Amino acid sequence: MNLAKQLWAARVEGRRIDISPVGLPADEGAAYDVQEAVSQVAEATSVGFKLGATSEASLKALGLTRPFFGPLVDRYFHHSGDEVVLSTRHPVLIETEIAVGLEQDLRPRDQKYTPDEVERATAWVAPALELVATRFEIELAGNGILLIADGGVNADFVLGDKVRDWGQLDLSQHPATLLVNDLEAASGHSGMSLFATPFEAVAWLANHPRIRARGLRTGDIITTGTCTGMTPLQPGDRARADLGELGELRMQLAALS
Where does residue 139 rank: exposed (0-12), middle (13-18), buried (19+ CB within 10 A)?
A: exposed
pLDDT of 1 strictly over 60: no
The predicted-structure confidence for 168-186, as pLDDT tens digits, reads as follows: 999 999 999 999 999 999 9
How distant, in Å, are the alpha carbons of 24, 151, 175 from that of 33? 11, 11, 36
pLDDT of 23 strictly over 90: no
Confidence at residue 21, expressed as pLDDT on a 0 to 100 scale: 72
Q: What pTM, to 2 d.p., does this model score? A: 0.96
Q: How many structural domains are present in the chain?
A: 1
Is 73 in contact with 46 (CB distance < 8 Å)?
Answer: yes
Where does residue 252 rank: exposed (0-12), middle (13-18), buried (19+ CB within 10 A)?
A: middle
> Cβ atoms within 10 A of the Cβ of 106, count?
23
| Owning domain of residue 235 | 3-255
The predicted-structure confidence for 84-113, as pLDDT tens digits, reads as follows: 999 999 999 999 999 999 999 999 999 999
The residue-averaged pLDDT of 236-252 equals 98
> Which helix or strand (DSSP H or E) is residue 85 part of?
strand 83-86
Give CA–CA dist 9/151, Å, rounded: 13
Which residue type does 135 have?
R
Residue 160: give its domain's CATH number. 3.90.850.10
How distant, in Å, are the alpha carbons of 30, 199, 249, 256 from that of 34? 6, 27, 33, 26
